[in-house]
Structure 1
Amino acid sequence: MFAVTLGRRAFCRALGLALLFVNGVRAIGAASNNGVRATSAASPRRSRVVSVHDARASSAGKGLDDADLDQDVLREMVNRGVLALTGAKELRQAWCEIIPDPSKKVAIKVNCQIRGIYTKAKVVQPIVEGILSAGVQADHILIYDMTDNAFDLAGFRRNTGPGLKVGKVSDFGGYSRVIYHRLANLLTGGHRYSGLNLAASVLNARGGRWDCDYLINVPVLKALDGYCGVSLGMKNHYGSIADPGEHHKDIMEHIPLINSLPEIRKKTRLVLLDAIFGEYLWQNGRDQRYVTRVNKILASRDPVAIDATGWRMIEKLRKEHGIPPVQPQPVYIAKAAALGLGADDPSRIELVELEAGRDHAGREQ
């Protein structure tokens, strides 16, 4: 299970584990340079999306849950992705670039609402280790979603006490009901400006009032037939707003809107897509008929570029399984690009693909 309480000794241990990887960073960095395949030459105006593939990621079991993942492999994948994204030579340097002020609070948005496919704790663990290595206190890190429906399968345990926080939005101040487009108060600090929000926070927030300064988005690779076509990074923030069901009819407009809000746009430091498994045809509940092994993680600072890349991955999976393209088409991605939130044009996306254990010529190392 995911460790949710980190005292001084555990903090030092976690930090030490993260720093152990620094010894291998030079080798990893060299492997990254040798094993990179880029779709086109880098350009200052291009948005970088890093994709790391390792077939061993889901080799620990025969199922499609967190228990079936290899933690060491996942850690290496996330570390390689972060290094390639930032261009840093050392892992701690990369995380200090992502989290420049260690005195700030960091929120990690996961997707654990559906029990068929969800963000896995073993993917989040190396993110937490990286944040700790940047000097952030464990007490200043929060993992959240609207519900905890899949926390047990995902490997998370709720904790609203000291140490690393894990829980629902309602555990940490709830949602603004009047202002901020009803965003979670942990993103906005909205309880400061509304007596109603303050009262709700005091009465309902088991973990106390909590305002994040930085935000990391860890969505899943999922089709969403009948709604917005796909559910990736930008759609993941439907768990950051109250009553998302009210915005299914206008979902193509509302997804870009909420991602354009400064409380999300300006605070987001990293989007890391958990694509170890992918659901290429949407099913509700504990249904994994259309979930398959992909064994990838993707990392980017551009929420539009990573969604555009994820959409193409889903369409490829559907084609391989003889299924027509998603319906409706996820036009919210182009709408978000039109708002200036990022790049959706493949010519403006630098896709860097890392293959574990291979050099630049594709040979086994």
Structure 2
Amino acid sequence: MKKKKGALTRRDFIRGTVGATLGTSLVGLNWSKVKGAAAGSSLVTIVRDKNAMDAGKNVNTDVFKKMLEQTLIKFTGEKSAKDAWLSLVKPSDKIGLVPTPHLNPTHDEVTDAVKSSLIDSGIPEGNIMNAQGGPEKPKACTALIGLPGLKAHWLTGIGTVLKLYILYSGSPRSYHAQDNSKLGEIWNLPFVKNKTRLVLVDALHPLCDKGPQVDPRYKWAYNGFIAAKDPVALETVCLKIIMNKREELKGEPWPLSPPPLCVEAADKEYGLGTSKMENIKIETFGWKEGLLL
């Protein structure tokens, strides 16, 4: 197939072209200006509460339910969580919830709260399923709600939003190391494309180093919940939080390996959203300490 004018190929990424651009866009940007992005940009909403977890890092379900409700209302502009959900999905939809299964998995309390909120909004419980897994899962759904955990990953650099659907490919090993640049193509598979209604990132207790085993030194209580429809804008913001935390811990820039080539590739090669910070509007609510933006 003939390459479109201006399109980026995987070879471009492996040469380092996109890696250099990504580094410039994330490190050199004036973030105080970014948060005032113009209307019409991709919206990313961050809700935080310092009491979302207790001292033992257990989720306070009552606090989190309020965070979820606030997130839905603030992101959609609707008057209630019910109205928010019904602006995104229909009671007749077969809705797949897609949590992160391994290496800093999504908290069960998060998945349970989202399911309960959907049911309270009039979605039949029988129309809601866990859709993490192989290609048959999204094929059974008409709508997907992404529920990834915020984390770095040893095989793809960042392992939050774009990696969430990797099992839908049927060949997850094809997207490791430098090939993480191709993760965006999974979102364009015929049985996945245009099904994602919202992505809600569990940023309560993120992991900023990559594994393969979780090292508690690199987990911290961010106590956040991050929402967007644009998966690339959301991943870009998540990556900024991860990179800022890594630099805070190290005292100097601490690059991820492999580099998360998937972020800019998802924008420029796969057309999934924007990785340009000037086109991302970040709205924050609640606890401001340690925002890392």
Same fold (TM over 0.5): yes
Partner of 1:213 in structure 2?
Answer: 142
> 1:223 Cα shift?
1.0
Cα RMSD (Å) of the superposition? 2.2
Letter in 2 for 1:351: I
Counterpart selection for 2:121 from 110, 134, 137:
134
Q: Is the 8 A contact 2:208 2:246 kept in 1?
A: yes
Q: 1:53 aligns with which of 48, 52, 57?
A: 48
User: Which of 244, 265, 275 is the matching residue for 1:344?
Assistant: 275
2:161 alignment partner, SS class: coil
Closer/same/farther in 2, CA of residues 332 and 357 from structure 1, 3 Å limit: closer
The alpha carbon displacement at 1:144 in A equals: 3.8
Q: How many Å apart are 1:41 and its aligned residue?
A: 4.8
TM-score w.r.t. length of structure 1: 0.65
Task: Give, in whole Å, the separation in 1 of the partners of 2:232 and 2:174.
Answer: 23
The answer to whether the Cα contact below 8 Å between 1:95 and 1:133 also exists between their aligned partners in 2 is: no
Equivalent position to 1:185, from 114, 127, 136: 136
- Aligned counterpart, 1:70: 60
Aligned to 1:111: 100
The superposition leaves residues 64-92 of structure 1 with CA deviations (integer Å, 9 ceiling, x where unpaired) of xxxx1100111111111111110111221
Q: Residue 333 of structure 1 aligns with which residue?
A: 263
One-letter amino acid matched to 1:291: K
Q: How many angstroms apart in 1 are the aligned matches of 2:163 and 2:143?
A: 19
Please report how far the alpha carbon of residue 278 of structure 1 lies from its aligned counterpart in structure 2 after TM superposition: 1.1
Q: Distance in 1 between matches of 2:221 and 2:36?
A: 27
Deviations 1:35-77, CA, capped at 9 Å, x for gaps: xxx8115412x00000011110111x414xxxx1100111111
Partner Cα separation in structure 1 for residue 82 and residue 263 of structure 2 = 32
Matched residue type, 2:147: V
Write out per-residue CA displacement over residues 244-289 of structure 1, whole angstroms, 9 at most, x where no aligned residue: 1243255333201101224223110010000101111112245433
2:193 alignment partner AA: R
Say if 1:215 and 1:269, in contact at 8 Å, map to a contact too. yes
**Alignment pair present for 1:235 and 2:163:** yes
Amino acid in the other structure paired with 1:215: L
Residues paired across the two proteins, number: 254
Post-superposition CA distance 1:90-140 (Å, at most 9, x none): 2211110011x21121001111223xx110111122211222133221011
Q: Determine which of 39, 49, 57 is the counterpart of 1:43.
A: 39
CA distance in 2 between counterparts of 1:357 and 1:230 reads: 24
User: Alpha-carbon deviation of 1:220?
Assistant: 1.1
Q: Distance in 2 between matches of 1:321 and 1:250?
A: 26
| Cα distance in 2 between the residues matched to 1:287 and 1:325 | 17
The gaps in structure 1 that reach 5 residues or longer are 1-37, 147-174, 176-183, 189-210, 359-365
Q: Which residues of 2 match residues 271-310 of structure 1 at below 5 A?
A: 271-285=199-213, 287-310=215-238
Within 2, Cα distance between the matches of 1:83 and 1:263?
Answer: 29
Q: How far apart, CA to CA, are the structure 2 residues paired with 1:293 and 1:90?
A: 28
Q: Residues of 1 paired with 2:45 and 2:256: CA distance?
A: 24
Does residue 102 (structure 1) correspond to residue 91 (structure 2)? The answer is yes
Cα distance in structure 2, aligned partners of 1:41 and 1:112: 34
Could you tell me how far apart the structure 1 residues matched to 2:256 and 2:173 are?
Answer: 20
Q: What secondary structure sits across from 2:122 in the alignment? A: coil
Q: Matches of 2:258 and 2:177 in 1, distance apart?
A: 12
Contact kept in structure 1, 2:162 and 2:262, CA below 8 Å: no
> Cα distance 1:284–1:252, how it changes in 2: closer, same or farther (>3 A)?
closer
Q: Over residues 164-183 of structure 1, what are the superposed CA-to-partner deviations in whole Å (9 max), with x where a residue is unaligned?
A: xxxxxxxxxxx4xxxxxxxx
How far apart are 1:329 and its partner, in Å? 2.5
Shift of 1:302: 0.5
Alignment-derived partner of residue 28 in structure 1: none
Tell whether the 8 Å contact from 1:105 to 1:136 is kept in structure 2 after alignment: no
SS at structure 1 position matched to 2:67: helix
Partner of residue 321 from structure 1, selected from 242, 246, 249: 249
Runs of at least 5 residues in structure 2 that lack an aligned partner in the other structure: 1-33
Amino acid at match of 2:110: V
Q: Which residue number in structure 2 is paired with residue 24 of structure 1?
A: none
Question: 1:240–1:41: structure 2 CA closer, same or farther, 3 Å change rule?
Answer: same
Deviations 1:173-195, CA, capped at 9 Å, x for gaps: xx4xxxxxxxx11212xxxxxxx
Once the two structures are TM-superposed, the CA of residue 326 in structure 1 deviates from its matched residue by 1.3
Contact 1:302–1:343 (8 Å) recurs in 2 = yes
**2:150–2:203 contact (8 Å) kept in structure 1:** yes
TM-score by length of 2: 0.81
